[in-house]
């Protein structure tokens, strides 16, 4: 049964917000009502009511959207699918996952039911609804692939040309165009997903084994910064693409310079067979011993998304490095509510970049300059998180089966900025935008300068890290969907399944 929450309801102040405290921008821009749905039928009814009333519906699962696509909906209707959270065996075999399931709940249920894994992200409270429809990647993506690479079917509710609400199962044989579009094309573009199906899933590893090195900012020179970053980038572009290294997930946290701050490198080895062979993470970490004054770190945390473990087996030493071994389930769900789980306290802004090659010296000089620039109350809370990529994510044939075109990258960057005070919004957003524009003017020229447009160095941006600053460029769809046939294809799907543009936001697919 649908529970409707309106402005007069005591639950409204909590439910009208996103987890990012920036949204809605003002109370007046909040939704008129929230429809808490418990079943796929509820979703269809809530959608029909919104359409009949001429109100804009938006959709929410885990509430982690990076931009104003969900709760900023003046006088509109927010259809909340959090209660559709089952993770269970599907009637015809395989597994089904409701869009409201949190990633932590998915790891937990799949592991406990069958010792299986779905390569999803690392934040416990991110919802399947947004995460899977935007592609989904995580620590096991290099070994196993993207989340949508495993998707075999979904139930989707759409609004047809007559304004009628239609529920359909989509897969390779039924509505195969819509099926491809929802495999990474981005949330709430075509309809509302009420169930995801997976025929076959890979086995979960036995353990996650983590080690790291870190370097103090206090003594960091530009030369050392470049040396560290290029050591990381060179490994990912070369040795890191060889298959025996795919169980290795590496991260580099390029934080803003702060007193006593450090640049961290993390190595997370997925121990698939329980043999705990640490030769590959050791080989990787050894490279940084030549970069200067490094300290070993057995619990590397380079960004807000990294798994933090409470329960670990005794640390072990391999060469000069200390490693912590964590049982797989503890490594994935042990953090409980990890990664900005609360509502309405932290403000955030994000940008992204897929990289096909090592960093150039020119772009690292610009990064160093921005990360050492001192503007009080502005540069704190800023980090460039560099994640390893490639491996199984780069299966070229999946470009045409899914809506994720980035299949040639070796690193994936997430620019993150966090703060608390609304009065700092304007100055922080400008600093962050200027930084990104400057960095991506080092290797990109002409009208695409200021962006990681597809070319020899870059492969655009990630739609699950949407950034409305990019919408100022008329080529923004190519940044997210590539320069091939994908965006024209998505436009056709949009026209066919959402002819009235019921599902729209500032970066939705245009028919
Ligand atoms: C702390 C943190 C860590 C993260 N880590 C990772 C990571 O490791 N890997 C990664 O790939 N991404 C990661 N992300 C990004 C995350 O995948 C996206 O923010 C994702 O879109 C959030 O989905 P949600 O359901 O939680 O958010 P929501 O705000 O509920 O939804 C996001 C978008 O999807 C739409 N949507 C939601 N449900 C549905 C549905 N049922 N049908 C159709 N559209 C729907 C919404 O309308 C909205 O446009 C992280 C984000 C955060 C905040």
Please write the tens of the pLDDT for every residue from 252-301. Answer: 999 999 888 889 999 999 999 988 899 999 999 999 999 987 777 766 75
Label residue 409 left, alpha or beta by phi (over 0 means left) and psi (-120 to 50 means alpha).
beta
Mean pLDDT of 90-106: 96
User: What's the 421 CA to ligand 1 centre distance in angstroms?
Assistant: 24
Residue 56, domain extent: 3-80
In a domain, 110, yes or no: no
- Can you name the residues that pair with 341 across neighbouring β-strands? none
Q: Is residue 214 part of a domain?
A: no
Q: Is residue 433 part of a domain?
A: yes
Going from the Cα of 207 to the center of ligand 1, the distance in angstroms, rounded, reads: 26
Q: Is residue 386 part of a domain?
A: yes
Q: How many A from CA of 463 to the centre of ligand 1?
A: 10
Given a cut of 60, whether residue 309 has pLDDT beyond it is: no
User: What is the rounded average pLDDT of the residues 352-359?
Assistant: 98
Query: Is residue 439 one of the residues assigned to a domain?
Result: yes
Q: How far is CA 457 from CA 88, 94, 361, in A?
A: 42, 39, 13
Tokens of 283: 């080989």
Q: What is the CATH number of the domain that holds 442?
A: 3.40.462.20
Cβ of residue 138 lying under 6 Å from some atom of ligand 1 = yes
Domain boundary among 52, 80, 108: 80
Percentage of the chain beyond pLDDT 70 is 94
Residue 422 domain-assigned (yes or no): yes
CATH for 7? 3.30.43.10
Distance 337 CA to ligand 1 centre (A): 15
326, 268 Cβ separation under 8 angstroms: no
Distance set, CA 243 to CA 191, 235, 382, 393, 447 (Å): 38, 13, 33, 12, 37
Residue 101 is predicted with a pLDDT of: 98
- For residue 324, the model assigns a pLDDT of 92
Provide the pLDDT for residue 302: 42
Distance 380 CA to ligand 1 centre (A): 25
Q: How many domains does the chain have?
A: 2
CA distance 378 to 424: 8
Which pLDDT tens digit goes with each residue over 41-60? 999 999 999 999 999 999 99
Alpha-carbon distance of 79 to 34, in angstroms, equals: 6
Whether the pLDDT of residue 320 is over 50: the answer is yes
Nearby residues of 310 by Cβ (< 8 Å), 6 or more positions away: 330, 334, 335
Q: Distance (Å, rounded) from C-alpha 104 to C-alpha 62?
A: 11
Centroid of ligand 1 to alpha carbon of 60 (angstroms): 9
- Our answer on whether the CB atom of 127 is closer than 6 Å to any ligand 1 atom is yes
Mutate to test the pocket of ligand 1, among 19, 77, 130 (most ligand atoms within 8 A of CB): 130
Does ligand 1 come within 6 angstroms of the Cβ of 205? no
- For ligand 1, the distance from its centroid to the CA atom of residue 82, given in whole angstroms, is 12
Question: What per-residue confidence (pLDDT) applies to 333?
Answer: 82
> What are the two backbone dihedrals, phi and then psi, of residue 382, each rounded to the nearest 5 degrees?
-110, 130
Residue 301 lies in a domain: no
* CB of 129 shorter than 6 A to ligand 1: yes
**Cα–Cα distance between 333 and 30 in angstroms, integer?**
32
User: What predicted TM-score, i.e. pTM, was given to this entire model?
Assistant: 0.96
**Which residue, of 34, 65, 80, is where some domain finishes?**
80
53 in a structural domain: yes
134 CA to middle of ligand 1, Å? 7
User: Is any ligand 1 atom within 6 A of the Cβ of residue 63?
Assistant: yes
Average pLDDT over residues 398-404: 97
Regarding the beta carbon of 341 and ligand 1, being less than 6 Å apart is answered no
Look at residue 261 in the predicted model and tell me its pLDDT. Answer: 84
Backbone angles phi, psi at 40, to 5 degrees: -65, -35
Say if residue 307's pLDDT is above 70. no
Mean predicted lDDT score pLDDT of the chain: 93
Tokens of 266: 């993390």
Cis peptide before 24 (omega within 30 of 0): yes
pLDDT of residue 378: 81
Closest residue by CA, ligand 1 atom 1: 339
pLDDT band at 313 (very low <50, low <70, confident <90, very high): low
Q: What is the pLDDT of residue 306?
A: 43
Report phi then psi at 418, rounded to 5.
-125, 140
**Residues 276/228, Cβ–Cβ less than 8 Å:** no
- Determine if ligand 1 sits within 6 Å of the CB of residue 99: yes
């Amino acid at each position: 049964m649908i529970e409707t929450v309106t402005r007069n309801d005591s639950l409204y102040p909590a439910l009208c917000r996103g987890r990012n405290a920036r949204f809605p921008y003002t109370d007046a821009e909040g939704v008129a009502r929230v429809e808490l749905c418990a079943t796929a039928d509820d979703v269809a009814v809530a959608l029909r009511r919104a359409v009949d009333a001429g109100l804009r519906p938006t959709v929410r699962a885990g509430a982690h959207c990076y931009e104003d696509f969900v709760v900023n909906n003046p006088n509109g209707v927010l259809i909340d699918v959090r209660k559709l959270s089952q993770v269970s065996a599907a009637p015809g075999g395989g597994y089904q996952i409701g869009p409201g399931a949190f990633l932590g709940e998915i790891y937990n249920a799949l592991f406990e039911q069958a010792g299986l894994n779905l390569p999803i992200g690392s934040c416990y409270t991110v919802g399947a609804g947004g995460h899977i429809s935007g592609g989904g990647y995580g620590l096991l993506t290099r070994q196993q692939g993207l989340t949508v690479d495993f998707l075999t079917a979904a139930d989707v509710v759409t609004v047809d040309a007559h304004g009628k609400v239609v529920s359909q199962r989509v897969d390779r044989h039924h509505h195969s165009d819509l099926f491809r579009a929802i495999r990474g094309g981005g949330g709430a573009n075509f309809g509302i997903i009420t169930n995801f199906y997976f025929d076959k899933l890979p086995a979960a590893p036995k353990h996650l084994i983590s080690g790291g090195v870190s370097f103090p900012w206090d003594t960091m020179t530009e030369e050392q910064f470049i040396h560290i970053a290029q050591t990381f980038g060179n490994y990912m572009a070369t040795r890191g693409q060889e298959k025996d290294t795919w169980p290795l997930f590496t991260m580099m946290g390029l934080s803003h310079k702060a007193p006593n701050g450090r640049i961290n490198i993390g190595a997370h080895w997925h121990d698939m067979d329980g043999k705990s062979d640490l030769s590959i993470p050791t080989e990787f970490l050894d490279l940084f011993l030549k970069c200067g004054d490094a300290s070993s770190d057995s619990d590397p945390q380079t960004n807000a998304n990294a798994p933090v473990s409470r329960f670990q087996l005794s640390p072990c030493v391999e060469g000069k490095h200390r490693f912590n071994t964590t049982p797989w389930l503890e490594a994935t769900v042990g953090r409980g509510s990890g990664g900005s789980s609360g509502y309405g306290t932290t403000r955030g802004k994000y940008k992204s970049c897929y990289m096909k090659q090592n960093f150039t010296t020119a772009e690292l000089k610009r990064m160093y300059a921005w990360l050492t620039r001192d503007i009080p109350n502005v540069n704190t809370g800023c980090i460039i998180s560099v994640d390893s990529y490639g491996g199984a994510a780069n299966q070229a044939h999946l470009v045409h089966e899914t809506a994720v075109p980035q299949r040639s990258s070796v690193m994936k960057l997430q620019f993150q900025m966090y703060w608390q005070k609304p009065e700092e919004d304007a100055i922080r957003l400008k600093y962050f935008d200027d930084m990104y524009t400057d960095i991506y003017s080092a290797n990109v020229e002409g009208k695409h300068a200021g962006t990681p447009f597809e070319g020899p160095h870059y492969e655009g941006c990630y739609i699950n890290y949407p950034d409305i600053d990019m919408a100022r460029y008329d080529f923004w769809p190519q940044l997210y969907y590539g320069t091939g046939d994908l965006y024209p294809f998505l436009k056709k799907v949009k026209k066919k399944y959402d002819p009235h543009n019921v599902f729209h936001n500032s970066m939705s697919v245009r028919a």
